[in-house]
Homo-oligomer: A and B are copies of this chain.
Amino acid sequence: MKIINLDHLSANPLLPEVQEAMINTIRNNYGNPSSQHRLGDAAATALEEARESVARLINCAVPKEIVFTSGGTESVNHAIKGVAFAKGEKGKHIITSNIEHSSVIRSIKRLKLFDFKVTSVSVDKYGMVDPKEIEAAITDETILISIMHSNNEIGTIQPIKEIAAIAKAHNILFHTDAVDSVGVIPVDVQDLGVDLLSFGSNAYYGPAGVGGLYIKRGTGIWPVFDGGVQENNKRAGTENLIGIVGMGKAAELALKDMEKRILHSKNLKEKLLRELPDYLDEYVVNGHPESSLPNHISVSIKYIEGESVVLMLDEEGIAVSTRSACAAGALRASHVLLSIGCDFADAQGTMVITFGVDNTEEDVDKFLAVLRDTVVSLREISPLYNKVVK
């Protein structure tokens, strides 16, 4: 069965050029970048080429501001815990928002066990953070502000540049989790003025389990891994060269094709949102109407369970998600949806659609038709629907 993948947030196929770069590494470049002989030289060259490509994608001042990691989660843990432990003498207060990814929330929660205090600011009904609330939360003890660049569940893009300027004015380090933005929309670390920025590789058709952390030159931070002197002594451990090469190639292509990809996604998103009322009633589109990821739609469908929609669409060969795959094993309602004022029942009926380069208008047509039938049959057996609507 041909699968229609409308869950690119969870998993992107690797682009052919990325595949070839990785396969070439698998076959021919097995050296250790730290070795002093030619096997090592070849590996070190490939590693630094990838670093340059990734650095260009987010406009680093110098490539060595990039530390390669095992993915967004490691990057976030490194940024938050690394700054907290390095700056803990200066103060133990961190500011974040209510709609961050679990890696941010749980890293900060972990730090509470080391006596760190946290202020988590609320968001408006579009999931937008108010920079003024951030500024108001700053104390003499504040050492770190961490606000995500775009939200993985509702797509809302935050005013990062503004928040970074506030952090800078108060001499506080600023981290942004940009896992769902980098490679998808323009992200320029120098223009944003951030100190730390976490990103992955799969969002732009590189491999999963590979990522990076931008650490602005001169930023005092502890490593997560102690050991060897790899990655300019910022991240011990032999590098996942195969994955990193794939990420580098993916970064190069993302930079080159970004405009084209954004236009493609936007067209599909607009078509879907425009035609949705013809197929469905009683739903809410979540997230900000303008400041939002071009490839991302979150819809809460009343009177049904999102999980059932996912499973029934899967039967028809269509992949969508209820929310981030990271949280798929957890059964609680989404903290993001509850934070934007969605009620518990609507949160449970939420479906996230994320487009990619492989999607077509026909995919949207098929999805809408199957979704209509799915919702009709689910509502037929929904006690709530029968009580409220019929």
Residues of A with Cβ closer than 8 Å to B? 3, 5, 7, 10-14, 19, 22-23, 26-27, 30-32, 34-40, 43, 69-74, 76-77, 85, 101-103, 106-107, 109-110, 113, 200, 202, 207-210, 222, 224-230, 236-244, 307, 310-311, 313-314, 317, 319-322, 324-330
Residue with the greatest number of chain B CB neighbours at <10 A, chosen from A113, A314, A324, A325: A325
25 example contacts (A-B, Cβ-Cβ < 8 A) are as follows: A7-B37, A12-B30, A22-B26, A23-B26, A34-B326, A35-B328, A36-B322, A37-B319, A37-B321, A38-B317, A70-B70, A70-B209, A73-B238, A77-B236, A102-B236, A103-B226, A103-B237, A107-B227, A200-B238, A202-B238, A209-B241, A209-B244, A230-B326, A238-B326, A242-B242
Chain B residues positioned under 8 Å from A322 (CB to CB): 36
Residue with the greatest number of chain B CB neighbours at <10 A, chosen from A31, A202, A227, A307: A227
Least Cβ distance of A114 to chain B in Å? 8
Q: Is the CB of B208 within 8 A of A106?
A: no
CA distance A106 to B222 in the complex (A): 12
Chain B residues positioned under 8 Å from A14 (CB to CB): 26, 30
Identical chains bound together, number: 2
Chain B residues positioned under 8 Å from A71 (CB to CB): 237-238, 240
Least Cβ distance of A212 to chain B in Å? 13
CA distance A73 to B238 in the complex (A): 8
> Which of the residues B77, B237, B242 comes within 8 Å of A227, measured between beta carbons?
B77
CA distance A3 to B76 in the complex (A): 40
Chain B residues positioned under 8 Å from A317 (CB to CB): 38
Least Cβ distance of A133 to chain B in Å? 25
Least Cβ distance of A225 to chain B in Å? 5
Q: Is the CB of B19 within 8 A of A228?
A: no
Q: Is the CB of A328 within 8 A of B227?
A: no
Q: Is the CB of B36 within 8 A of A11?
A: no
Residue with the greatest number of chain B CB neighbours at <10 A, chosen from A26, A77, A317: A26
Q: Is the CB of B243 within 8 A of A240?
A: yes
Chain B residues positioned under 8 Å from A228 (CB to CB): 73, 102-103, 324-327, 329
CA distance A11 to B40 in the complex (A): 8
Least Cβ distance of A38 to chain B in Å? 6
CA distance A72 to B37 in the complex (A): 22
Chain B residues positioned under 8 Å from A319 (CB to CB): 35, 37-40
CA distance A9 to B143 in the complex (A): 42
Which chain B residue lies CB-closest to A314? B37
CA distance A268 to B178 in the complex (A): 51
Chain B residues positioned under 8 Å from A27 (CB to CB): 19
Residue with the greatest number of chain B CB neighbours at <10 A, chosen from A70, A77, A107: A70
Which chain B residue lies CB-closest to A11? B32
Least Cβ distance of A152 to chain B in Å? 11
Q: Is the CB of A224 within 8 A of B224?
A: yes
Q: Is the CB of B74 within 8 A of A70?
A: yes
Contacts A11-B30, A226-B109 given: A328-B239 contact, CB under 8 Å? no
